[in-house]
Structure 1
């Protein structure tokens, strides 16, 4: 090692630290999506309503997003190794308690606290990996870390589907326990705390800042998760939480800029690369989580697939991402400009969206998705590593942790915004397309009546009376209209996301290269 303050590791230690960090990132991200396929079983087991059971997802996301911006500060307060290990322990204990829950509100509270432990794992893992590698190898470090972030959301549904089909829903939480124990032991044995961390006394802790941050991001996450369900600003609850988010954010920013020991160091955003990186991380989250949300929804709701089939559909694309990441890390090590690789990634994501638009029908076959999703996998590999490397490339010391917290939070908020905007847009477009299609169904049209009579004859052949068969025929026609309207809505979503990414391409190309800065950072190291 070059000096006693260096956190760069070599040989076996680096392998173990890298393994531990990826394991923790995977644990955290898999748990964001693994419960989706078990909600129905939980609902029946606990006698919960659909609205109550959806809080199992919302509570975890709120716990995540509250803690992420504070991770750098908490690492300084308690020492990175202690804080990282404590976060794994909190995540593991509350995983066990989630599996043991007997009422829905117990499960929701434990999921929130599991999210508080989990949120720290993601950002601290990124910081640990970044600082364990020399500056010239940080592209490769981000490639390795990216495996967890990209694979996680895709791995959740098929793994959850397999566990629910073969065991029972508590095991989706129990699976975390042995992995959490291994990760804790490795973290305590191998992870080192940086020398620059200075613990603040109790009087210097910004309790007001912590409260304002929790109100601001917690309320924002609630609005994004529940907005569509509550009919947005027609709901008093959404109006109140939106005001809390806006006012909380305003006063939080004011507090951080005026308090002597802020919990979130906003001044680190003076770094141009980090500023650009946080915006690109938001867009990356929008595309990553938005597409992970929309494709399984389409295959299950429209094509009638089960959760395991929908989850497995995404696996080849994830493997393509995993295969490509080390090569992209090597390209960055050899000096390939991050902004060009990210722009190519965005352009390929546009191609993926247009491809999706083209193949969607009410009965698309599984084979039609394969190459389209491989394209998504290639695009994600080209986006993730250059964006994270660009964001952190000119940061040093504790700024790396602060920068990782910003990019992590923005990626997560991008995902939440993506899912909220997509679900709202789809529901509006669905209504619009249905109304439009119904205007073409005229009972005087011989083609329409021929279709209705065909349905009627089919139902009568099953033993229905003529009048009941006619009612069923109209219901069947209405179902087909709804299905067609739904497919048109999915096509609109692919167009919308594709246009968003296309607009971003020229802006990414305008970002200045940072080879010189990276070289200076390497020299300083």
Structure 2
């Protein structure tokens, strides 16, 4: 069956095309999280420190951010299908080289190329279904794409933990190779270039292609340096470090100069005018919030379970898995909802559920169970589909077809940038609130305190029979109280992090209700 009204450019089934492009989507998004849990194994295998090994993550994100913002323009100039296949091929070859890397510098270099390929894929993966389906069916098409985007970060830590626990870190990257080859074969056979984009490319070449080199340089410096600041800031004391301050200044100047430069170009490499569109601008901001919450929780829930409760990487990852199944079940329903409920109300409702999920996690304590963590992720998973699908679908509403590449690129920039901002905010808050809570709790730990004396008395009864001497008993009690205090401090800091994420969700509700159109997609209702 071919869906009428789309611009498929061929006779392939558009639903099959949505599934095909989701393969590479899943592969690329998975790679943003799967390597996180393998860092210690990578550092040990390549004789590097854990701080040095973090460049395995940072190098990928920097390259991804740089190419992502200009990939819409590149897809228009090169041809969407051709550019997409080049990116998938680059990502697949780079994954093979990452798995065969012999040193940390080699691995970082290959990760840069992998990030370039991965960043280039994302906009085409959204634009292809957008053109293949008529507006009234785009919601259900994006549901398939959304499953890959939302579920991949959930599976990433679990799969990465299982691979590193049972095999070697090399397979974290090598697993992409067969998936990449499958994606290339299917895309080459089934995906066709839309007539409108082919005509736009022909028109550009006839008029003489003008490459915005300065715009590209400003984008690369601005987003690349910003990514380094966000990823390395907490580890380097933020602006007390000349290293971080230098990158921040370069990023700020580049992004400020980018605005007037791109707005005055006839053929801008990044079409910033789209952000002036009320509906698209709102979608961009809400996607920032969504990316911050999704990526931050995906990183910090497993981190908390491993560091504070002694979970293995695999077990911590499984706490996120039930949420992934819930998302898969709800995505089709969320896809249908965009034709019934105006996106602003669907997004507001979804964000309200997300805010409630973050509030639920603030009730954690020292007796946290696996089921509590799993339910927290399930509650979050209930809200995310009703946020992600309406944003993705509404961002194309009212835009001419030749702008879909640029629009898709900017929405993906919002998701990735939001994720980086969310993780950076959470890391900074976690460190600062740990210091705050430690200073406050220590105020109540002094020898004359009745609570302290009672705690010591109970500890003496427990450790007295196990220690070899009074000095040994005293040392064990001191160590135990220190560990208990450190755990309480850490849990209070995590609670503050989840409170901050709930406030980000509330901000998303406000933006959606205040600025987005009331129009029901695909039905032609007035705003």
Alignment TM-score, normalising by the size of structure 1 = 0.94
Compute the displacement of 1:7 (Å). 2.6
Alignment equivalent of 1:340, drawn from 345, 350, 358: 345
Compute the displacement of 1:463 (Å). 4.6
Q: In the alignment, is residue 168 of structure 1 matched against residue 172 of structure 2?
A: no
Separation (CA, whole Å) in 1 of partners of 2:429 and 2:177: 39
Q: In the alignment, is residue 39 of structure 1 matched against residue 39 of structure 2?
A: yes
Where do 1:302-381 residues align within 5 Å? 302-333=308-339, 335-358=340-363, 360-381=364-385
Compute the displacement of 1:430 (Å). 0.7
CA RMSD of aligned residues (A): 2.2
Q: In the alignment, is residue 234 of structure 1 matched against residue 231 of structure 2?
A: no
Q: In the alignment, is residue 422 of structure 1 matched against residue 423 of structure 2?
A: no
> Residue 286 of structure 1 aligns with which residue?
292
1:273/1:392 contact within 8 Å kept: no
Alignment equivalent of 2:217, drawn from 178, 201, 211: 211
Change in Cα spacing, 1:136 to 1:375, as seen in structure 2 (3 Å) is: same
Alignment equivalent of 1:385, drawn from 382, 389, 398: 389
**Structure 1 alignment gaps of length 5 or more:** none
> Residue 54 of structure 2 aligns with which residue?
54
Q: In the alignment, is residue 490 of structure 1 matched against residue 517 of structure 2?
A: no
1:9/1:132 contact within 8 Å kept: no
Separation (CA, whole Å) in 1 of partners of 2:371 and 2:42: 32
Greater shift, 335-344 or 215-224, is seen at 335-344
Runs of at least 4 residues off by over 6 Å: 1-5
Compute the displacement of 1:52 (Å). 0.5
Compute the displacement of 1:448 (Å). 1.6
Separation (CA, whole Å) in 2 of partners of 1:150 and 1:284: 11
Deviation track 1:470-520 (CA, whole Å, cap 9, x = no partner) reads 223212211110100111111111222212322442432233435378556
Where do 1:10-409 residues align within 5 Å? 12-193=12-193, 194-195=197-198, 196-198=200-202, 199-200=204-205, 204-333=210-339, 335-358=340-363, 360-409=364-413
Greater shift, 238-247 or 472-481, is seen at 472-481
Separation (CA, whole Å) in 2 of partners of 1:370 and 1:3: 42
**Structure 2 alignment gaps of length 5 or more:** none
DSSP-derived class of the 1:287 partner: helix
Q: In the alignment, is residue 478 of structure 1 matched against residue 478 of structure 2?
A: no
Separation (CA, whole Å) in 2 of partners of 1:464 and 1:404: 67
Change in Cα spacing, 1:332 to 1:517, as seen in structure 2 (3 Å) is: closer
DSSP-derived class of the 1:392 partner: coil
2:234/2:428 contact within 8 Å kept: yes
Separation (CA, whole Å) in 2 of partners of 1:515 and 1:126: 21
Change in Cα spacing, 1:88 to 1:507, as seen in structure 2 (3 Å) is: closer
Alignment equivalent of 1:442, drawn from 430, 436, 446: 446
1:394/1:518 contact within 8 Å kept: no
Separation (CA, whole Å) in 1 of partners of 2:451 and 2:3: 80
2:338/2:521 contact within 8 Å kept: no
Aligned positions, number: 518
DSSP-derived class of the 1:394 partner: coil
2:361/2:376 contact within 8 Å kept: yes
DSSP-derived class of the 2:169 partner: coil
Deviation track 1:107-155 (CA, whole Å, cap 9, x = no partner) reads 1111111011001122210111111111110111121111111001101
2:338/2:520 contact within 8 Å kept: no
Separation (CA, whole Å) in 2 of partners of 1:482 and 1:4: 60
1:321/1:380 contact within 8 Å kept: yes
> Residue 415 of structure 2 aligns with which residue?
411
2:136/2:521 contact within 8 Å kept: no
2:151/2:328 contact within 8 Å kept: yes
Separation (CA, whole Å) in 2 of partners of 1:434 and 1:4: 61
1:72/1:398 contact within 8 Å kept: no
Separation (CA, whole Å) in 2 of partners of 1:3 and 1:493: 47
2:10/2:192 contact within 8 Å kept: no
Greater shift, 234-243 or 284-293, is seen at 284-293
Greater shift, 24-33 or 136-145, is seen at 136-145
Separation (CA, whole Å) in 1 of partners of 2:78 and 2:24: 19
Separation (CA, whole Å) in 2 of partners of 1:340 and 1:107: 45
Separation (CA, whole Å) in 1 of partners of 2:385 and 2:421: 22
Compute the displacement of 1:5 (Å). 9.6
1:303/1:363 contact within 8 Å kept: no
Deviation track 1:227-284 (CA, whole Å, cap 9, x = no partner) reads 1011101000111000010111122223222333221122233322111110111011
Change in Cα spacing, 1:452 to 1:119, as seen in structure 2 (3 Å) is: same
Separation (CA, whole Å) in 1 of partners of 2:101 and 2:469: 50
DSSP-derived class of the 1:7 partner: coil
Alignment TM-score, normalising by the size of structure 2 = 0.93
DSSP-derived class of the 1:261 partner: coil
Separation (CA, whole Å) in 2 of partners of 1:143 and 1:53: 35
2:343/2:519 contact within 8 Å kept: no
